[in-house]
Structure 1
């Protein structure tokens, strides 16, 4: 049975990924800061803490895939809260780095897979999302560099860059912007907000053998938003 580690796997996209992997026959270990009822194996872990990540991965002899979904967001400008800046960078960027570092020695050559959840905000800027944009740009840079570093091992590393996804985090952002879900959907060229299950579908494809030639990519899943002028 293939083994996967999914960070942030107790809610939103991470939960959808963990559930889909289990349905596909994978054994799933979920890492998250707060224990929540889950049918999957669970280890409490703040991915921003390098020692905690190493401890969570230590019992694992082998994993076949790492999916980094853990992350937090929040409105942030340079004249804002430094603590929020460090928290967002720590969870989204440092956490991805720590988990990739811990996973690499345990991933098999030829078939190992890493998928990092970035964002369309890793490909563009938003004025009040300074920390989140910086973190997600960093995740994409890390993805590209790491993909080249491990290409000789036959391990692929890719990033997914969702736009609006119907999650609790998105609804928090709607509240910050003072918009409704319908207004968010209307801003997408296709007129639809993605579901967590759709993002999980993309993750699953990137873990399959037929995706072995795809590495170092940052794939937008945004209903055409980045194609707008």
Structure 2
């Protein structure tokens, strides 16, 4: 089944690299205008450059999703440029802590929750009224397999991703009759800069990360992008409130 899209404008937060960049490029390849948002201006402009090189249309907006004013201005820029927002991928997030729960700091807790939870909440706070006014839309939030099960030595991160799933399901029910679908994608370990920072210093950890997936490898950013596009596409018109695992079988064990 080919993916088809009813609208014309997509937003990707955390679009400067990794899964966000891959998803922005995938949206552009479908002919959508793509708004890339990130705190990393260099990476964000690079993503936009790749979109333009492929013949696509879009814009980059510097945005810290933990600040209401930034998120509000992001969506105002989208309306000013394109007049609507059809698809939103709320992907901005920060990485896991590296110790047991009692070893964590208040600063770690606040930072992870601010980006991973407050950031998703703020983005949906502005996306939902905009989509209601135009008659519908689709939102996908980045959760994680860590939002579906226990995650030893990354309890704060796991709690943040459980919260994303809670926000996703609640918004899906609240806005189901408004023509807005809200879903989440739950990746396992994916080959990103975040993965390399966590594992490449110790090849044994990288080998363990691959082995934890029954398929025998970690995931690719393009595989998550494909899942996001499916959830936004007309092929998923009857899907809302769902957390789609893209995990190489990790949660099936």
Q: Which bin holds the TM-score, normalised by the shorter protein?
A: over 0.9
Q: Distance in 2 between matches of 1:83 and 1:177?
A: 26
- Find out whether 1:5 has 2:11 as its counterpart: yes
Kindly indicate whether the alpha-carbon contact (under 8 Å) linking 2:17 and 2:47 is maintained by their aligned counterparts in 1: no
- Find out whether 1:82 has 2:88 as its counterpart: no
Q: Distance in 1 between matches of 2:127 and 2:179?
A: 15
Q: What is residue 23 of structure 1 aligned with on the other side?
A: 29
Q: How many residues align?
A: 228
Q: What is residue 195 of structure 2 aligned with on the other side?
A: 170
1:84-107 CA distance string (max 9 Å, x none): 111111101100000011111222
Kindly indicate whether the alpha-carbon contact (under 8 Å) linking 2:18 and 2:192 is maintained by their aligned counterparts in 1: yes
Query: Which deviates the most, 77-86 or 138-147?
Result: 77-86
- Find out whether 1:136 has 2:161 as its counterpart: yes
Q: 1:181 Cα deviation (Å)?
A: 3.1
Q: What secondary structure sits across from 2:251 in the alignment?
A: helix
Q: What is residue 91 of structure 2 aligned with on the other side?
A: 69
Equivalent residue for 2:240, pick from 210, 215, 221 = 215
1:158-209 CA distance string (max 9 Å, x none): 0010001111111223258763433321221111211000110111111111
Q: Distance in 1 between matches of 2:142 and 2:18?
A: 12
Q: What is residue 69 of structure 2 aligned with on the other side?
A: 51
Higher helix content, 1 or 2: 2
The alignment's TM-score, normalised by the length of structure 1, stands at: 0.93
Q: Distance in 2 between matches of 1:34 and 1:79?
A: 29
Query: Which deviates the most, 14-23 or 52-61?
Result: 52-61
Query: Which deviates the most, 94-103 or 177-186?
Result: 177-186
Structure 2: stretches of 5+ with no match in the other structure: 1-6, 49-57
Kindly indicate whether the alpha-carbon contact (under 8 Å) linking 1:147 and 1:215 is maintained by their aligned counterparts in 2: yes
Q: 1:134 Cα deviation (Å)?
A: 0.8
Distance 1:110 1:206, change over 3 A: farther
Q: 1:125 Cα deviation (Å)?
A: 1.8
Q: What is residue 119 of structure 2 aligned with on the other side?
A: 95
Q: What is residue 156 of structure 1 aligned with on the other side?
A: 181
Pairwise CA RMSD:
1.7
Q: Distance in 2 between matches of 1:133 and 1:177?
A: 23
Q: What is residue 115 of structure 1 aligned with on the other side?
A: 140
Q: What secondary structure sits across from 1:107 in the alignment?
A: helix
Kindly indicate whether the alpha-carbon contact (under 8 Å) linking 1:78 and 1:130 is maintained by their aligned counterparts in 2: no
